[in-house]
Amino acid sequence: MPHSVSLISTIAAGLGLALVLGFLAARLRLPALVGYLLAGVIIGPFTPGFVADGAIAAQLAEIGVMLLMFGVGLHFSLDDLLAVRRIALPGALAQITVATLLGGALALWWGWSWGAALVFGLALSVASTVVLLRALESLGILDSFTGRIAVGWLVVEDLAMVLVLVLMPPLAGALGGRAEEAADPLWQTLGLTLLQVGGFVALMLVVGRRAFPWILWQVTRTGSRELFTLCVIAAAVSIAFASAALFGVSFALGAFFAGMVMRESEFSHRAAQESLPLRDAFAVLFFVSVGMLFDPSVLIERPLQVLAVVAVIVLGKSVAACALVLALRYPLGTALTVSASLAQIGEFSFILAGLGLSLGLMPVEGQSLILAGALISIATNPLWFSLIAPMQKWLHARLSFARGLDARDHPLAELPTSTEARFLSRQVVLVGYGRVGRRIAAELEAHDVPYVVAEQNRELVGRLREAGVAAVWGDAADPAVLIQAHVARARVLVVAVADAMNVRQMMETARTLNPSIETVVRSHNEEEARLLAQETAATVFLGEHELAQAMARDVVRRAAAVPA
């Protein structure tokens, strides 16, 4: 052809092959992303046949990261981020330290330099936000408290890696790499970086929270769907790019904060829906681009080293994260979910490896090992999530220690002895006190119906207790939590959390302790709602269905009031 079509050929080959292999993987009961990764390997430079443009694929993947993080921001408010700061901030920093020490020790054992060991350990310490989001969305727990902890944890990791990327060049000489000429003093570089990141966050929260919802409203007033979609996509990509160019933060963090400030608009749900098809398509290209970077020969030339790297990522990081969450006195289920979330590495790992290589800090085989570890850990990550519920059940059944983790002596884990009798019998047990739970609680209070809240956010339970609300802290999937909420004598169990993974366990516990209890469940997925209604005999409320019914009733009322 007379002109270059590398962009078109990369998209066509990447999406087309991903569709075929993703479909085959799904038919073999494997995660579809395994097919996407294999598609990247096939069209990559290390396998025979067609080779896609790696640079273009990487940029397309970066757009996917932006759109995914923008979508998360649309569902993740500043209050959600602050609510998990007590676990996400210390947990992420401690986990990065432990994983860096494990990876660094492995590199030193292989005879690498101290600088190479540090870069290698840091690359293994940070998980992929994209992989995490896909896993949480598939399980239906992205909006749950545990999901918010995992997302908040990775936001802290991303912020830490921004500082690492800025500090690596001026420190390269001291670490054994190529020193930068005329580099600024370290304290000046660190101070400027903190000032830039802080300035970006302040600008987005102070100015962006007012400006972007107003812009979205003005575009909506035109009545053009194309302009609305264009506004959403332009906001995600443009703000992400500007944040990286002007403030030095990553594309992912820029897009995440763009989504957070756009969430202030009443059209945030529509924005999320309009951007969903593009988010999914570009997310596939992200996995394809990861596969393109992988050289299969490393599996033959360095199999033991690859296994060691995978062990650090999947076992070392996960065990460290689990221990940290448990040490902060959170339930076993939360600890296992966070552990599975971190049992992989991704985009920041590739950036760190590339920078370390360019600065002469890390050998070439280090990048190959990081890519091999990323590919294997991403492909196996859905397996670890699927093992959470069986593992938790197995540990509870066989180890009294595991049962004790969810039933520890904590003042918020049981109702005070001074709780009024009306909250202990014929009451409503309300699981979750988020956006939906708060509205249900307000309605119950308005009709003087006693209720007990079961909530995983420990700080929120403390505030509810101070406000005089009967509340217990813990994961309601654990029988001990529902027992403390006196579900055995309750009239109704209301599950107001978006936790499709554990809702059946809550139902089973409630009906075992109280066969006559009424159950009301919230669901986001029509198929999931149908299965829940069949399997648990619960009353299931589907968001879109209830909204449509409410609107239809209002329309009928208005139509009936109009004279003929």
List, for residues 36-94, the tens digit of each pLDDT value: 888 988 998 888 888 888 788 878 878 877 887 787 777 666 677 777 788 888 888 99
In this prediction, residue 402 carries a pLDDT of 60
Highest mean pLDDT among 125-139, 374-388, 438-452: 438-452
Per-residue pLDDT averaged across 313-335, rounded?
A: 86
In this prediction, residue 76 carries a pLDDT of 66
- Percent of the chain with pLDDT strictly greater than 70: 90
Torsion sign (Cα): 349, 352, 354, 360: negative
pLDDT band at residue 314, thresholds of 50, 70 and 90? very high
3-state secondary structure of 471: strand
Distances from the Cα of 359 to the Cα of 157, 244, 273, 354, 366, angstroms: 22, 21, 42, 9, 13
> Higher model confidence: residue 564 or residue 110?
110
Per-residue pLDDT averaged across 413-442, rounded?
A: 87
As given in the structure block, the two tokens for residue 40 are: 């990247």
Torsion sign (Cα): 112, 113, 115, 117: positive
Give dist(CA 157, CA 151) in Å, integer.
10
Give dist(CA 125, CA 120) in Å, integer.
9
As given in the structure block, the two tokens for residue 77 are: 């408010």
Q: Kindly report the CA angle at 160 between 285 and 199, in degrees rounded to 5?
A: 95
In this prediction, residue 189 carries a pLDDT of 66
In this prediction, residue 1 carries a pLDDT of 45
Distances from the Cα of 114 to the Cα of 105, 219, 353, 412, 502, angstroms: 9, 54, 15, 46, 45
Examine the pLDDT at 274 and tell me if it is beyond 60.
Answer: yes
